[in-house]
Amino acid sequence: MKFDSPAKTNPIDRLKVVGKPTPRIDGPLKTTGTAPYAYERHDVAAGQAYGYVLGAGIAKGRIKSMNLAHANQASGVIGVLSTLDHEPVPLGPSNTANLFGGAEVQHYHQAIALVVAETFEQARAAAHLILVDYEREKGHFDLAELAPAAPLAKDGKGKPKVENFGDFDSAFASAPVSIDAVYTTPDETHAMMEPHATVAAWDGDNVTVWTSNQMIQWGKRDLAKALGIPRENVRLDSPFIGGGFGGKLFIRSDLVVAALAARRFHRPVKVTLQRPLIMNNTTHRPATIQRIQLGAERDGRLTAISHESTSGNLPGGKPESAVSQTQLFYAGANRRTAMRLAELDLPEGNAMRAPGEAPGLMALEIAMDELADKLGMDPVDLRIVNDTQVDPMNPDRPYSYRDLVGCLRRGAEVFGWHERSAQPGTNRQGRWLIGHGMAAGFRNNILTKSAARVRLAADGRVTVETDMTDIGTGSYTIIAQTAAETMGVPLEQVSVELGDSDFPISAGSGGQWGAVNSTAGVYAACVKLREMVAQKLGANGEDIVFADGRVEVDGRSFALGDAASGGELVAEDAIEYGDVDETHQQSTFAAHFVEVAVDAFTGETHLKRMLAVCSAGRILNPVSARSQVIGAMTMGAGAALSEELAVDKRFGFFVNHDLAGYEVPVHADIPHQEVIFLDETDPWSSPMKAKGVGELGLCGVGAAIANAVYNATGVRIRDYPLTLDKYLDRLPKVT
């Protein structure tokens, strides 16, 4: 199905199933522990052996030798896979760090060996018997040290990537009111509950991997390249994923070494990365140093906007695109954005939930708060004054639908923003300093081709097959809702099968593009199935009505399954987009409001209330959408107050590489959270008229918390997370 113009009225608009608050259809499997996650696929291959990954003990250098004798002789050991016995595996287009092979060490905990044994305990014990002799080299581990000389990041053509519009320098110099400040965000890790895990088994020249992966076809492509075999010889299966947040977009070392070991030792092999290796061996959100300059008229209208960000990565890696939203978010005639990239010898920096916007808005939205403070203007009003309905860098390109102002006004009303004390540090309740902060949120809506296969059985049951994944986002449910709505059957009459690379290629899960694209692909396949049903029943497709498990045409009524009485009907199609996202800027918007209490004596910060108002097109399932947003708000609270990968700048590794030292929020840290979705549709997005929402809930939260802490204390903190060492000595004197 080609989608190249705004969606008109279609079967989804009936909203009998789509748009209804629907509990997850996979919920019973998860609550009973019967959902099959990767490491628990004991049933898929007989005789599974256990692999244990040994990570490098240096951050940069070479392996001079590796003594495997004691490990090979240990009880239960089947064999040891050594990096010295392999050339570095070829990498896919999105991987940067070496996954396995060769003597060079690029980062700490790089996979250098896999011990395979009959039990996990035997493999782990034997791994500790491997003796490795390293030749350590001097590495670069300090972003702040390299930032002043960091070169500009390059675009796809190898040219320095600086975006200019208008004359920023002149406009900033002549602005009546301006700010110029530097903000920093730390390295962060995904900290998903389910580790990276894989079971691999070979059948002749074909390999099947049951793994935890967000993007099935990317994984199939990259594993085939790593193993040097045709893509059709690889099958990935990931029906359930226990969280990814971008850390499972691309294949990691568990997948590669499991497949290599299974081929070498002629046994199915299962591998999970232990938590320290998840943090040092896989990917993370890179730290940033961001400079923001804003110039405005005295009425708050922005005349000059500059945002420069510096981040680090391994050679060949990409920068954290923290300036991306600043190109689009606010009006302003003179603009400049630029990114700098330092070469660091830390683990690979790559996508983490809302890459770019999450750290970028942590800085930009504090800067907007500072500007409002300098102007003596309400922060909500400042953002409303600077709203735009067109792409500021290309004014001839309108937004498909943008209601940031609606988010701001609704949020201010519901939160009771007018009761906020505008003077920082003046609202006290006993020993607590009370503060209120807000920030706006922005995340683009990304369109990508997505396909599905739909089957109709004689009993009227509809089965959907697509390689779309469910990373805890509710994909099973919204896909079932889409099929039920389009085919006119109850939700209970739909089965959904996901995550198998033998199924049609979907959008996959990532970048909040999964929901809108995968459901649109299912819709396209269902429309084709409707046409087949009409043909079987001898009906005119335009006059036919699908409802309540029946087909009505020309005064006649049939059970839907009658169309398949002679055999199952199977339809397959994909949603393919024209230039709708080029002619119209497609984005999602939010307003975040937060109340905090800061202990006047200790500086301890407690969150008291959190509100998010979201503009994201049609909401396909308010229950799962709310879950996505409150999860993202919680993630934003962690980023603001506690989450930071501490870098050992002597030896180049993340010190707090477990969930005891890397502090994510727990239930006691999170207060009442309220989520409001504006009632809207965006016909430019897809036939579903929906947009993504899962990452929008994170964008802006950190700044809202930082702004609330400033309102409570009068202390402006520009370095995340907002830990006590950064402001305790600046708190107001206790009287």
Residues annotated as catalytic are 695
Helix (H, G, I), strand (E, B), or coil: what is residue 597? strand
- Length of the chain measured in residues: 735
Dihedral angle over CA of 245, 248, 249, 252, nearest 10: 150
Nearest to 255 by CA among 313, 291, 216, 286: 216
CA quadruple 389, 392, 397, 399: dihedral sign: negative
Structure tokens at 209: 């991997």
Closest CA to 272 of 341, 345, 343, 199: 199
Maximum alpha-carbon separation in the chain: 85
Helix (H) / strand (E) element for 308: namely strand 302-313
In three-state secondary structure terms, 650 is coil
Other beta carbons within 10 angstroms of residue 15's beta carbon come to 10
Which tokens is 680 given?
């809207």
Q: Are strands 569-577 and 450-456 parallel, antiparallel or unpaired?
A: antiparallel
Report which secondary-structure segment, H or E, holds 419. none
Handedness of CA 471, 476, 477, 482 (dihedral sign): positive
Burial class (CB in 10 A: 0-12, 13-18, 19+), 244: buried
Residue 110, φ and ψ in degrees, nearest 5: -60, 140
* DSSP H helices in 9-66: 27-31
Distance, in Å, from the CA atom of 557 to the CA atom of 571, rounded to the nearest integer, reads 22
What is the secondary structure of 96-126 as a DSSP string? -S--S-SSEE-STT-EEEEEEESSHHHHHHH
Contact 621, 22 (CB under 8 A): yes
SS3 180: strand
CB atoms within 10 A of CB 418: 9
| Nearest to 253, CA basis, from 223, 275, 218 | 223
Going from the C-alpha of 289 to that of each of 144, 351, 652, 718, 735, the distances in angstroms are 8, 17, 19, 10, 37
Evaluate whether 327 touches 335 at the Cβ level (below 8 Å): yes
Which two three-digit tokens encode residue 144? 């702040």
E strand or H helix at 224, and its extent?
helix 216-227
Let me know: does 433 contact 400? Beta carbons within 8 Å: no
Nearest-10 Cα torsion for 715, 719, 725, 726 = -30
Rounded-to-10 torsion of CA 132, 133, 137, 138: 70
Q: Please answer whether residues 74 and 282 qualify as being in contact, where contact means their C-beta atoms are separated by less than 8 angstroms.
A: no
CA distances from 288 to 96, 143, 247, 285, 369 (A): 19, 8, 18, 9, 20
Name the DSSP class of 147. Answer: G
Torsion angle of C-alpha atoms 489, 495, 498, 500, degrees rounded to 10: -120
Angstrom distances, CA of residue 593 to CA of 230, 365, 548, 643: 51, 12, 43, 21
Token pair of 609, please?
Answer: 């209330």
Strand pairing partners for 443?
588
- On whether the CB atoms of residues 449 and 576 are closer than 8 A, the answer is yes
